Amino acid sequence: MSSEYALELCGVWKKYSISEFFHRSVREEIVGLFKHKTGDALSKDEFWALKDVNLALKRGDVVGLYGANGAGKTTILKIISSITYPTLGSVAVNGTVAPLIEVGAGFHPDLTGRENIYVNGTIIGMEIKDIRARMPGIIAFSELEGFIDMPVKKYSSGMYLRLGFAVAVNSSAEILLFDEILSVSDVDFQNKCINKIRELKQDNRTIIMVSHNLNLLRETADSIYLIKDSTAVLMPW
């Protein structure tokens, strides 16, 4: 992969079994990777979550993924962030990745917001000294100063979103993945996030956003892919 590209998916297919879809472990995913790597036939109860997906993003690209529930949008993000692996095809990632795929993912409910900044920052590859240095900016961006030392199990979904987004965008990650994260925020914070995404683009960060809000994607993305029938098609602008 050329150094100008941040990531590239070439002919990516992802197979799931209905009986395993909701409770498959990471170990089983890895076993399945080798078990099904060379086969493109479907066994009983299996289905293709992705079919021959091809994406190539240059550094600084902001790309939107749009489509119905279950189309495969989140699966694409999970493959890019190595949460799961393709059955067929190749994935090349050139840079550190900060995934914000689920609101509250990577947070421990019994830890405070401040403590969870350290946990979440470490998960996406930040060093402790770097987290400590960025802590004031993360807290300020989240606007949770009055709640930052409260256990996050008492947070609303919107507060989780604020904290997770603040950690991700204040990290040094070169590739950011956002899955419907603006849908649970209020209008003012949503506008703040949009402005931050534009700022990150100017800083040559690569961003993939999943959303059901087509107007939001048109406002922020350089291009939008429609994910339909488990494949990706570039939408006309």
What mean pLDDT comes out for the span 179-204?
87
Count the domains in the chain: 1
Residue 25: band (very low, low, confident or very high) from pLDDT cuts 50, 70, 90: low
Spatial distance between the Cα atoms of 233 and 223, rounded to a whole number of angstroms: 11
- Pairing state between β 97-100 and 175-179: parallel
Residue 86: other Cβ atoms inside 10 A: 22
Spatial distance between the Cα atoms of 67 and 44, rounded to a whole number of angstroms: 27
Q: When comparing pLDDT for 225 and 237, which is higher?
A: 225
What is this structure's pTM? 0.85
Q: When comparing pLDDT for 21 and 136, which is higher?
A: 136
What residue type is 11 in one-letter code? G
Cα 214 to chain centroid distance, Å, stands at 18
The answer to whether the Cα torsion of 228, 59, 172, 140 is positive or negative is negative
Domain extent, residue 54, equals 5-234
Spatial distance between the Cα atoms of 107 and 161, rounded to a whole number of angstroms: 11
Q: For the chain, give me the number of helices (H) and strands (E)?
A: 7, 9
What mean pLDDT comes out for the span 66-89?
95
CATH code of the domain containing 134? 3.40.50.300
